Structure 1
Amino acid sequence: MSRRDGLGCAVAHPFIERTVLALWSTVSPARLSIASWDDDDLAVVYDKVTGDTHLIESSAIEILRLIEKSPASAEAIAHELADLISADDQDKLPQFISATLLQLRDLGLVTDTPV
Structure 2
Amino acid sequence: MPSQPAVDLDATVHRVVAALDADEEPARADLAAAVRHLARTLARRAPGRSVELRVPPYVAVQCVAGPRHTRGTPPNVVETDPVTWLLLATGRLDWHTALGDARVRATGGRADLSAHLPVEDRHE
TM-score normalised to structure 1 length = 0.29
RCO higher in 1 or 2 (8 Å CA, sep ≥ 6)?
1
Bigger share in strand: 1
